[in-house]
Amino acid sequence: MAWGGKATTLSILGRYNESLDAFDKAIETWQANDTERISELWVFKGNTLQMAGRPKEAFKAYDEAIRMYPQNFDAWIWKGDSLKNLAQYNESLQAYDKAIEAVPPKMPEAEADARVAKADVLLKMGRYDEAYNVYNKTSELDSLNDIGRFYSAWSWRGMGSALAGLGRYNESLQAFNKSMEMDPASAFQSWSDEGNALKDMGKYEEAVGANNKSIEMAPSEFASAKAWIGKGKALDEMAKHDEAAKAYDAAINNLDKTLQQSPLDAETWYLKGNALKALGNNSKADDAFAKAKELGYNG
């Protein structure tokens, strides 16, 4: 087996140190003038470093991929993701813009990947008008293949959150419904986000119902955790604090199950911190946030 294939297989098996050694061997032995392929290998190495809980080294690997072949849009996207996770949002936006520039003309799905990632960052920054406009452009992919519809649904969901941020709640709910129509498989995310919007509207019972829908449809323990937290917050607003505490406990239980399988998953640690904080367990929450930060995730 070629070194690159061996490295990928070892990474999938979770044998990260062996995988990284094999990637080094692949990079070392590949023909030096094929900079595009070497750049790809650096991206794969960076992804393995991320999974191994070594985010700073992963970031350097993405930079090396870009140095080898600046047109590698995947490297720019992964760099943007790393910067986003570290809450370095302005630098993240710059990386996503570089990715958009580097995508070849006949790869609309790849451009959509970079655009929705950029819009997600704008949403985190509270730049709702800008986020809406970027999502809106990507939503036009609904006439393409399944991948295109996936990104279109993502965009409609993002537009829903942006519209909620702008106080345009009725339009927000319409956008969430459009997202569910576009991609029923990801509807659990739209229900969770719709629950947040309904809570902000003061419609707490409906918010609980939306989060319950998300929990029912979620494909994994991790996927349901956000909705359990959202449900808890809506119940807290209704002064049903005992029920809210049970919802937060359910989130923590699910996240702990996820961490048993993926102990180096930074976002899982961050969500666990949110649930612990909502319970008032600030000491354990701080520990979870610190672990997430150590693994390269600041929210």
Which one is predicted more confidently, 255 or 141?
255
Cβ-based burial of 155 (10 A; exposed 0-12, middle 13-18, buried ≥19): buried
pLDDT at 1 over 80: no
Q: Is residue 206 part of a domain?
A: no
What integer pLDDT is reported at residue 85 of this predicted model?
A: 86
- Cα separation, 270 vs 283, in Å, equals 14
Q: What is the mean pLDDT of the chain?
A: 93
Q: Is residue 27 part of a domain?
A: yes
Alpha-carbon dihedral 50, 115, 184, 251, rounded to 10 degrees? 40
pLDDT at 71 over 90: yes
Q: Is residue 47 part of a domain?
A: yes
What integer pLDDT is reported at residue 141 of this predicted model?
A: 65
Which one is predicted more confidently, 182 or 230?
230
Question: Considering only 55-59, 91-95, 195-199, 282-286, which range has the smallest mean pLDDT?
Answer: 55-59
CATH of the domain at 69: 1.25.40.10
Which one is predicted more confidently, 140 or 58?
58
Structure tokens at 122: 């704008």
Q: Is residue 31 part of a domain?
A: yes
Q: Is residue 262 part of a domain?
A: no
- Cα separation, 47 vs 78, in Å, equals 8
The H or E element that residue 280 is part of is none
Q: Is residue 276 part of a domain?
A: no
Q: Is residue 289 part of a domain?
A: no
Q: How many structural domains compose the chain?
A: 1
Residue ranges making up the domain that contains 18: 1-102
Q: What is the mean pLDDT of residues 87-96?
A: 94
Among residues of the chain, what percentage have pLDDT more than 70?
98
Cβ-based burial of 251 (10 A; exposed 0-12, middle 13-18, buried ≥19): buried
Q: Write the pLDDT tens digit of every residue in 135-167.
A: 998 887 655 577 878 889 999 999 999 999 999
Q: Is residue 64 part of a domain?
A: yes
H-type alpha helices, the chain: 3-12, 16-29, 35-51, 55-68, 73-85, 89-102, 108-124, 128-138, 146-165, 169-182, 187-200, 204-217, 221-237, 241-261, 266-278, 282-294
What integer pLDDT is reported at residue 276 of this predicted model?
A: 98
